[in-house]
Amino acid sequence: MEELKSRHIVTLDYEKCKGCVTCMKRCPTEAIRVRDGKASVLYDRCIGCGECVRLCPHNAKIPSYDRFEIINDYKYKIALPAPSLYGQFNNLDDVNYVLSGLKKLGFDDIYEVGKGAELNSLVAQILLGRGNLKKPIISTACPVIQELISIRFSNLKENILPLLAPVDIAAKLARERAIRRGIKPSDIGVFFISPCPAKVFALKTGMNVSSPSVDGVLAVSDIYMRLLGEMKKIEYPENLSRMGVLGLQWASSGGEAAGVNRSKYLAADGIENVISILEAIENDTLLDIEFVELNACNGGCVGGVLNVENPYVAKARIRQLRIKFPQISSSLAETGKSLDFYSFEKSSEEVDANALDEDRGAAFKKLLEIQKMLATLPQNDCGRCGAPSCKAFCEDVVMGRVAADAKCPCINEK
């Protein structure tokens, strides 16, 4: 597997980048700067939300994922399709066409991530029933949320529902099934077909698991055309789908929250909305809510930037597919696993991307400097200096990210 140690979930196509400030102005964590006419990312602040990929008018932001061909490095290939994949096809009345198409593409086995989602929901119902989790309980099936909490809302770490994401559950169970079938462990390759680059980062770095549960992460957009080609050739699809509505509904915002079977829940999607909900939880103003589902993308996973279809179209299609599925098709008894199997295998790393300095005295001095400098600037946040706001410019000067004598272009003109 190709290593991905840092948060490089997005790289830049230097040729295509025009140095416009679109991504920089809209980055929710102010992680982008435009220096020497090109956008660059402060990776320790990047939460992998994919906004820059979505917004770049020149398609210069390239999300990371594995090339399809890497599946050939393994003799026994397992595909893990996300529920949102089913919303990418026009006039699809049977998801078995998609799954059979994946087999024709070269996969030996399929394990639907929606099934992992059902198991996650069933375990979550038990944990919520026990009533000893800190409320509101925040789901982090969307890895961006966990990143955001760790860099900006460390107060809320204890509110995180400590359950593995559906894809990790599916990957673990799929690998075990292959081993039971007598396949040599080193021959098994498990591949997630991902709607978003955040999952690429989470899976490659092994977020919440002791070692990465998958061997590669493929992009929906990358396999789409070849998959469509195979699907068209299928006359009678093999009956491969093993999931129910409980798992399917995770594709769009609100589906996961509905799955915990509690009335006092909230589901927010879109990174700006997510941040305002986290602020509200931190300020203790979100009363009477037990469970909070947050998704960085508009509409939930259907909104992921590696998808091919408009999120709302995909959502509508998935809603229409519901009648083709049983309500629930998984039970915890069928896997025979204890709750530990579904739980975080390690605690997340603390990354403080906010502190100006480890030493409070030094941080204090820096903040004073920032405030003093800020008072001299126009505070029009025009972005011409290459920082997203006047305050971020001051921060960059004080933190040494730009030369100490860097000047505001607006003031220089006057």
Partner 1 sequence: MDAIHLEYDVDGKNFVSAGSATESVKAQLKGLGINPADVRRVAIAMYEGEINMVIHANGGKAMVDIFMDKVIVKLIDTGKGIPDIEQAMKPGFSTADEDVRNLGFGAGMGLPNMKKYADECIIESEVGKGTTVTLITNFS
Percentages helix, strand, coil for the chain, rounded to the nearest 5?
45, 10, 45
Tokens of 3: 């290593």
Non-local CB neighbours of 182 within 8 Å, separated by 6+ positions: none
| Short-list 113, 149, 162, 171, CA closest to 296 | 149
d(CA 395, CA 386): 12
Nearest residue (CB) to partner 1, 263 versus 285: 285
Least Å distance, CB 395 to partner 1, is: 8
CB of 284 to partner 1, least distance (A): 5
- CB 354 → partner 1: shortest distance, Å? 4
Residues in the site for partner 1, rule: CB under 8 A? 152, 154-155, 279-280, 282-285, 287, 352, 354-358, 360-361, 363-365, 367-368, 371
Of 67, 84, 38, nearest to 248 (Cα)? Answer: 84
Can you tell me the distance from the alpha carbon of 222 to that of 220, in angstroms, rounded to the nearest whole number? 5
- Given the complex with partner 1, which of 59 and 354 has the nearer CB atom? 354
Tokens of residue 161, six digits: 């529902």
For partner 1, the closer CB: 171 or 268: 268
Question: Considering the complex, what minimum distance in angstroms separates the CB of residue 227 from partner 1?
Answer: 44
Task: Using the minimum distance from each CB to partner 1, give the nearer residue, 154 or 261.
Answer: 154
- Which residue number, 50 or 388, has a Cβ lying nearer to partner 1? 388
> C-beta of 212: minimal distance to partner 1 in Å?
29
Q: How far is the CB of 51 from partner 1 (least distance, A)?
A: 19
- Closer to partner 1 by Cβ: residue 112 or 396: 396
3-state secondary structure of 294: strand
Q: Give the gyration radius of the chain's Cα atoms.
A: 22
